[in-house]
């Protein structure tokens, strides 16, 4: 829990892509989307950050709220509105499966939309290799253990 809050504090120190991200200029604004890890894997937590700045000066701006929607194709998986802390929105999200996701943001000042940006996030499939290796090792252990156990019993029985 402490590590998560530390990451939030570090991420709020200006425009931070974390491990990877995208910048999009919209009108006079620079919409910034960052994420960590750089290679997001399905089923594992990813930290997502959103910032807004002046496109010319790159000065960080403080929108009153940021609306975020995560979708894949026609399916909306998440939508929510956040109140930025120190100009930054940061949260963790677990993408359910590999593929390309759309990440749409709207930055608000009062009821007015300052900027709207469309980002994308490519998510890798879960690595099932580790589970396969564990399953094979378990099968080998069960196959070898009875034979090995029999040898031990025979050696113990001999005077």
The pLDDT profile of the chain, 159 residues, written as one tens digit per residue, is 444 433 444 444 444 568 999 999 999 999 999 999 999 999 999 999 999 999 999 899 999 999 999 999 999 999 999 999 988 999 999 999 999 999 999 999 988 999 999 999 999 999 766 556 666 676 766 666 555 555 555 555 555
Residue 46's pLDDT is 98
Q: How crowded is residue 65: how many other Cβ atoms within 10 Å of its Cβ?
A: 15
Residue 134's pLDDT is 61
Pairing of strands 29-36, 99-109: unpaired
- Are the CB atoms for 60 and 85 separated by under 8 Å? no
Residue 5's pLDDT is 38
Mention the CATH class of domain 2-125. Answer: mainly beta
Q: Partners of 109 in the beta sheet?
A: 112
Residue 154's pLDDT is 57
């Amino acid at each position: 829990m402490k590590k998560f809050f530390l990451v939030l504090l570090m991420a709020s120190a200006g425009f931070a892509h974390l491990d990877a991200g995208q910048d999009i200029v919209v009108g006079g604004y620079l919409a910034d989307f960052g994420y960590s890890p750089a290679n997001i894997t399905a089923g594992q937590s990813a930290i997502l950050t959103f910032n807004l700045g002046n496109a010319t000066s790159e000065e960080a701006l403080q929108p009153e709220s940021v609306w975020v929607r995560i979708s894949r194709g026609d399916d909306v998986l998440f939508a929510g509105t956040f109140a930025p802390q120190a100009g930054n929105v940061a949260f963790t999200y677990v993408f359910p499966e590999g593929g390309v996701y759309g990440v749409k943001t709207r930055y608000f000042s009062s009821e007015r939309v300052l900027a709207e940006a469309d980002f994308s996030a490519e998510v890798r499939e879960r690595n099932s290799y580790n589970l396969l290796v564990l399953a094979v090792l378990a099968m080998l252990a069960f196959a070898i253990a009875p034979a090995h156990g029999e040898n031990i019993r025979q050696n113990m029985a001999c005077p």
